[in-house]
Amino acid sequence: MEKIGIAVIGAGVIGRRHVQEIARNESCRLVAIADPSPGSASYAASLSVPLYADYRELLKHERIDAAIVCTPNHTHLEVGLAFIERKIPVLMEKPVADDLESANALADASKEAGVAMLVGHHRRHNPVVRAAKEAVASGKIGTLVMANIMCLLYKPDDYFNVPWRRQPGGGPILINLIHEIDLLRFICGEIVSVQAVSSNKVRGFDVEDSAACTLRLANGALANISLSDTTATPWGWDTAAGEDRELFAYRPVPTHFFAGTNGAVTMPDLTMWSYQGAKGRDQPIHDARLAVPEENTYANQLEHFVDVVRGSVRPVIDGHDAARTLAATLAVEESARLGRLIELNVT
């Protein structure tokens, strides 16, 4: 079968990660890169592919089967629409857009044109996440009652030398929490309401450094997410799951806890907890590990995208699904700002 020809639009941190995976994948090849930054010329030359400062020039001159869009969030709508209008399937990095109106406009355009858009919530391609989803959905832990997620990390102090990271929108709610919200929706189901408080007390920037979020799910379960980018702990997915060990030092500890009426499961270690006889805190509780193979989550995502482009599968997360993840994330920000519960429309 012919290789899928892919263009990468935006060759920054995550764009280069996608380029690495394309090079390792036998079903696709990198055709060209678009990025206006001065450093991109030598990068594209090192890969022996053409570079375009403007993605519209790339569209004029190159024949491609698909695009991976890794530009800043506020450009996702414009760039995504340009590819969808030309019937080119897109892997759009998360968040699908920076506001709900843009997210829905992109999702609608993809649906109406019949051109697939996969959104880069890469954790959905991790076998650990899929095993936990199966444990919850199959009823192995009984009825889900509570999910408890810790996203407690320490961003190096020089991370904040970039001004937008100190401003509203540049903090852990919109950068990090969105991954937790998407995981929660994927594993446990839709979120119907959100109550949150946030704080900027430690770093003292205009944007929050920490937040505590309580969520109600459509199936009646409750969830808590603890979020901070100023805590020196290993209790965050990037550290514990080891999905990118070049970027984040690996330390596997449990960070995600799903508790049901008959048992519990934790991630990323996939420990299943249950009573073997009568249930009760006076009884010994048993633990066992679910075995899953260790896989490269980004490689899995690309493999899935190739199948999406070939039309053999539908995206694991499309534009409308990703818009719901964005809506719940924005609701956390709104709840913390207004000091009240926010109901979500999940119909």
Positions touching ligand NAD (CB under 6 A) are: 9-15, 34-37, 55, 70-73, 75, 93-94, 120, 122
The tokens describing 212, both together, are 């505590």
SS in 3 state form for the chain? CCCEEEEEECCCHHHHHHHHHHHHCCCEEEEEEECCCCCHHHHHHHHCCCEECCHHHHHHHCCCCEEEECCCHHHHHHHHHHHHHCCCCEEECCCCCCCHHHHHHHHHHHHHHCCCEEECCHHHHCHHHHHHHHHHHCCCCCCEEEEEEEEECECCHHHHHCHHHHCCCCCHHHHHHHHHHHHHHHHHCCEEEEEEEEECCCCCCCCCCEEEEEEEECCCCEEEEEEECECCCCCCHHHHHCCCCCCCCCCCCCCEEEEECCCEEEECCCEEEECCCCCCCCCCCEEEECCCCCCCHHHHHHHHHHHHHHCCCCCCCCHHHHHHHHHHHHHHHHHHHHCCCEECCCC
When the beta carbons of 39 and 252 are compared against ligand NAD, the nearer one is 39
Return the sign of the alpha-carbon dihedral for residues 255, 256, 260, 262. negative
Nearer to ligand NAD, 135 or 326 (CB): 326
Write down the least CB distance from residue 141 to ligand NAD, Å: 28
Q: Residue 9 or 59: which CB sits closer to ligand NAD?
A: 9
Nearer residue to ligand NAD within complex by CB, 121 or 203: 121
Q: Least distance in Å: CB of 230 to ligand NAD? A: 19
Instruction: Report in angstroms how near the CB of residue 301 gets to ligand NAD at its nearest.
Output: 9
166 forms beta bridges with none
C-beta separation of 332 from 184 below 8 A:
no
Output the residue with the shortest Cβ distance to ligand NAD: 12
Dist. CA 135–CA 142, nearest whole Å: 9
Q: Least CB distance from residue 297 to ligand NAD, whole Å?
A: 9
Minimum CB distance to ligand NAD smaller for 135 or for 207? 207
- Give CA 311 to chain center in angstroms: 23
How far apart are CB 175 and ligand NAD at their closest, in Å? 7
Output 20 or 37, the one with its CB closest to ligand NAD: 37
Task: Give the Cα separation of 211 and 200 in Å (integer).
Answer: 9
* Shortest distance (Å) from residue 300 CB to ligand NAD: 13
Residue closer to ligand NAD (CB basis): 12 or 254: 12
Nearer to ligand NAD, 96 or 213 (CB): 96
| Nearest approach, Cβ of residue 67 and ligand NAD (Å) | 11
Report in angstroms how near the CB of residue 259 gets to ligand NAD at its nearest.
27
Residue 148 sits at φ, ψ, to 5 deg, of -130, 120
Smallest gap, in angstroms, from Cβ of residue 9 to ligand NAD?
Answer: 5
The residue (of 120 and 171) whose beta carbon lies closer to ligand NAD is 120
Minimum gap (Å) between residue 17 Cβ and ligand NAD: 8
Contact 343, 218 (CB under 8 A): no
CB nearer ligand NAD, residue 10 or residue 236? 10
